[in-house]
Amino acid sequence: MDARRLRAFAPLRRRDYRLLIAAVALSLFASGMWTVVMVFQVLALADSPTALSAVAACFSGGLIAFALVGGVAADRLSKRAILVTVQGASLVAVAAVAVLGTAGALALWHMAIASAVLGAGVAFFFPAYSAYLPSVLPAEELLAANGLEGALRPTLQQALGPAVAGMVVGAFVPATGAVVVAVGLAASMVLLLFVRPLPASMSGSSTSAPTGHSNVFADLREGFAFTVRTPWLLWTLLFACLMVLVVMGPIEVLLPFLVRDNFANGERAFGLLLTAFGAGGAIGSLAVSAGRLPRRYLTAMVLCWGLGSVPFAVLGYTSSFWVMATALFVVGLTDGAGMVIWGTLLQRRVPGELLGRVSSLDFFVSLALMPVSVALAGPLATVVPVPVIFVVVGTVPLVLALVALTVGRMPADEIAHPLDVVERVDTRP
């Protein structure tokens, strides 16, 4: 096995990481399944777009409401305990849906509560996971670990999970799909229970938790203060927030109509285009994880997102499926590569006692303007031609990237704080 491949899979040599990433994989698969199960279960209860929108909003509401609190919890409490508790709570919620659905006693408000619990669970799970990873792996293996997680996310959450859910729900009833989701969550929780607890000094206990503070708001202020006084972090988050505002609405709202108008079988074409995007993300994540962290890691990361958005500009001017698929594959490739660098950068340059809060702040910023972008996209398309909107989507992120690099003084910062250490492959379990 060559050195690059050995480096990409080096974290799998460690028992606790194998258990952890397997648990994450099952959680991603269950989340992907739930997306489809939730839709068809709601439609079976009330064939109404309003009902579906309300239940979906409960998931988003739970996620946004606890996004910042989840980071505080990750810095104060045992991260392993948070992961186990989240999976346990999610298991109870989904199992209740399965039991009530099988018994014919399920109501919309049950689905709303289950969705809110699952959304809140995500808000606690991934900040805790991100902050936990540096305690399980040495610094030189974090890039590879983030690459593996980045490859699993589109594969399991966006492709395999929904595909299996569609087959199960199509062959049986939505409650059967909920049973499969519950089994996946239960297996994930069991794997997490077998991860060895960290020593008290590393586990997020009182020795590493925020000190001198008695409330959540003080802890949040500390996380915000660190972000504001750290230019590379502040300007990356501002760039990401504005990029979400520019990109997400047109992709979520306008791209489906564009595909429907260009292709006879629009639904199938749209699904395949999303698959191309997901495949690009998986390949980009693995490609970066197989190498070393770039010397110019901030520049590489920001330009991955800025330059990588340029292919969006062609979507409104082509009726070729393969041109669209190629454009979205490239966007996914560069997005996945940038996300792996970003996750590794947080884990290596943010102090461990702040990592949970900064990770949750990143999570929150990524979501904050998404509803605004989605709400604006439709009305905007009535006054601005859709092809022009996609040109803006393709070019504005590059401008934002250059502004962030310049104002955030990122080239000088990455030279002053090199992370391209000589990497070692540790064979210890």
Residue 338: per-residue pLDDT: 94
pLDDT band at 420 (very low <50, low <70, confident <90, very high): low
Q: Which of 158-172, 342-356, 387-401, 415-429 has the lowest mean pLDDT?
A: 415-429
pLDDT band at 426 (very low <50, low <70, confident <90, very high): very low
pLDDT band at 85 (very low <50, low <70, confident <90, very high): very high
Q: What is the pLDDT of residues 193-219, one digit of tens each?
A: 999 887 655 554 443 444 444 577 888
- Mean of pLDDT values over 331-356: 91
What is the residue type of 79?
K
pLDDT band at 425 (very low <50, low <70, confident <90, very high): very low
- Mean of pLDDT values over 155-166: 83
Q: DSSP labels for 34-89?
A: HHHHHHHHHHHH---HHHHHHHHHHHHHHHHHHHHHHHHHHHHS-HHHHHHHHHHH
Q: Tell me: pLDDT of 142 over 80.
A: yes
Q: What is the pLDDT of residues 88-101, one digit of tens each?
A: 999 999 999 999 99
Residue 206: per-residue pLDDT: 40
Q: Tell me: pLDDT of 36 over 80.
A: yes
pLDDT band at 406 (very low <50, low <70, confident <90, very high): very high
The fraction of the chain above a pLDDT of 70, given in percent, is 92
Residue 421: per-residue pLDDT: 54
Phi-psi region of 58 (alpha: psi -120 to 50; beta: other; left: phi over 0): alpha
CA distances from 167 to 39, 97, 163, 174, 202 (A): 14, 19, 6, 10, 43
- Give alpha helix (H) positions in 207-354: 216-228, 231-249, 255-262, 266-289, 297-308, 321-349
Q: What is the dihedral of CA 169, 171, 175, 178, to 10 degrees?
A: -50
Q: Tell me: pLDDT of 270 over 60.
A: yes
CA distances from 362 to 12, 19, 343, 369, 411 (A): 27, 26, 10, 12, 21
Q: Tell me: pLDDT of 423 over 70.
A: no
Q: Tell me: pLDDT of 414 over 90.
A: yes
- Mean of pLDDT values over 260-287: 83
| Cβ atoms of residues 7 and 423 within 8 Å | yes
Distance CA 4, CA 10 (A): 10
Q: Tell me: pLDDT of 424 over 60.
A: no
pLDDT band at 279 (very low <50, low <70, confident <90, very high): confident
Q: Which of 110-114, 165-169, 423-427 has the lowest mean pLDDT?
A: 423-427
Q: What is the pTM of this model?
A: 0.80
CA torsion through residues 232, 145, 272, 39, sign: negative
- Mean of pLDDT values over 27-53: 86
Give domain 222-420's CATH architecture.
Up-down Bundle (1.20)
CB-based burial label for 415 (10 Å; 0-12, 13-18, 19+): exposed
Residue 214: per-residue pLDDT: 55
Q: Tell me: pLDDT of 302 over 70.
A: yes
Residue 202: per-residue pLDDT: 54
The fraction of the chain above a pLDDT of 90, given in percent, is 46
Residue 334: per-residue pLDDT: 95
Distance CA 210, CA 317 (A): 52
Residue 207: per-residue pLDDT: 39
Q: What is the pLDDT of residues 205-256, one digit of tens each?
A: 443 444 444 577 888 888 889 999 999 999 999 999 999 999 988 887 788 8
- Average pLDDT of the residues of the chain: 86
Domain-by-domain residue ranges, the chain? 1-196, 222-420
**Best CATH choice for the domain 1-196 from the list 3.40.50.720, 1.20.1250.20, 1.10.10.60, 3.40.50.12780:** 1.20.1250.20
